[in-house]
Each structure stands twice: as C-alpha cells, then as structure tokens.
Amino acid sequence: GAVVSQHPSRVICKSGTSVKIECRSLDFQATTMFWYRQFPKQSLMLMATSNEGSKATYEQGVEKDKFLINHASLTLSTLTVTSAHPEDSSFYICSARDTGGTDTQYFGPGTRLTVL
Amino acid sequence: GNSVTQMEGPVTLSEEAFLTINCTYTATGYPSLFWYVQYPGEGLQLLLKATKADDKGSNKGFEATYRKETTSFHLEKGSVQVSDSAVYFCALRNNAGNMLTFGGGTRLMVKP
C-alpha cells in the first residue's frame, strides 16, 4: 500500500531554535498534504492544508508565521516550527491523499518534537 | 458543520472478548466514513472505510457498517487480541472535500 514517511521521527531542540519536519509520499503523488498536531491522549487537530505550488491554508488559530509550510513538489511537504518554545512540544503528523489510486488518506508515522 | 462523536475510553477487555466502539456523525450530503488505528508512538493507519450507505468495511477481523438512518459507523470485532490494543479514530470526509474530520479517539486495552 501507499506509504507516507516523516523525518525525523524524534527531535529535541532548545527554545528559540527552528525545526524542520519533512513529509514524503513514497509511491504516489500528492497535490495536497495535511499537517496535524496531536496532544497526549487527544485527537488530531488539523493545522493546515499544504497545496503543491501554492500557499498553505491554515486553520483558525494556527500561526502561519510560526508554522511555515512548503510544498515544493508532488511528493514532499515540509513543516518548519520557527523559534520553538516548550508549548510547541507535541506529536506532529502529516498525511497525504492518494487521489490517483485508492483515494485514501495515508498518514505518516509522526514526529515527536520536544522543546527544552 | 461536520462532526464525529465516539464513545469515550478507555475500553478494557479480556482477550477473545467481543468489541464494539460506537461512532456517530453529523454531516451534510453523503460522506465517506473511516476507522483509523494508532498504535503507541506511531501515526495513524487506515483500518477500514465505507463510501456509501449500507456498505460494510472490513479488515483484520474488524467490521463497520455505514448506517445512514442512524448516522452511525460502529466498529466491531468478534474476538480481540492483545495486539489490538491501540487508539481507534472514527472519521468522515465529505465527498466534495479533502479534509478529514476526526472523532476524539477511543483507547482500547486488551488484557491476556
């Protein structure tokens, strides 16, 4: 089946630094990818929809200048958490919809971000 | 707007017990319905889906039937295993859109 990968799987950084998370669709092209944030024992919160070749669409309450999204190709989207603070510590999950095949939304394995 | 409501967990069962996790939804039109499973420390995996009324999705012994009259998509399994311990998310997507709407998730714990 289709696979979505994320890198890194875990990252620990100091407060004030920026962290980039990559999301790749490995065997299908994704014009649209999604970035979610998940707090412990809670559901997924959609942060933004990433569109290849255009600006991302952010959900209400998500700071676009803090969470920079770039979808430069049909298989890669990146999320950069700028000037990270401890409250940004969370599990970040990306997903991509395979519209050309099974029309299923596949999820990456997630990235655990810890900001000290 | 769209919404998904799941039974709150945790649900604790003994191995080989019968499982039901309730899911109801509110949506306009005819959404597609999904169950995703999240194992500890991992992302979500699609478990099963149904795209129209009366469809039954099934996978790995799990089943769910799209019931439009009751706006439900309850997840069932006849005999759970310890390895089924995970968090289960019900979700819907309107056919006109890209976005998934998730329920709150239900943690299942299966004891030997």
**Minimum CA–CA partner of B5 in chain A:** A43
Q: pLDDT digit string (tens) for A88-97?
A: 999 999 999 8
pLDDT of residue B9: 86
Among A34, A41, A107, beta carbon nearest to B45:
A107
Q: pLDDT digit string (tens) for A30-52?
A: 888 999 998 887 888 899 998 88
pLDDT of residue A78: 95
Query: Which residues does chain B have within 8 Å of residue A43's beta carbon, measured at their own beta carbons?
Result: 89, 102-105
pLDDT of residue A99: 74
- Rounded distance, CA A69 to CA B70, Å? 39
**Minimum CA–CA partner of A105 in chain B:** B46
**Cβ atoms within 10 Å, residue B83:** 10
**Minimum CA–CA partner of B9 in chain A:** A41
Q: pLDDT digit string (tens) for A65-103?
A: 999 999 988 999 999 999 999 999 999 999 998 877 667
Q: Which residues of chain B have pLDDT under 70?
A: 96-98
pLDDT of residue A31: 85
Q: Please say whether the beta carbons of A29 and A95 come within 8 A.
A: no
**Cβ atoms within 10 Å, residue A66:** 14
The answer to whether the Cβ–Cβ distance between A43 and B102 falls below 8 Å is yes
Residue from B34, B38, B24, B46 nearest B94 by CA: B34
- Rounded distance, CA B75 to CA A37, Å? 25
Q: Shortest Cα distance from B45 to chain A (angstroms)?
A: 6
Residue from A114, A87, A116 nearest A9 by CA: A114
pLDDT of residue A59: 92
The answer to whether the Cβ–Cβ distance between A34 and B104 falls below 8 Å is no
Percentage of chain A with pLDDT > 70?
97
The answer to whether the Cβ–Cβ distance between A6 and B99 falls below 8 Å is no
Instruction: Report the mean per-residue pLDDT for chain A.
Output: 90
Query: Which residues does chain B have within 8 Å of residue A109's beta carbon, measured at their own beta carbons?
Result: 42-43
More confident residue, B28 or A107: A107
Q: Before A8, cis peptide (omega within 30)?
A: yes
The answer to whether the Cβ–Cβ distance between A93 and B43 falls below 8 Å is yes
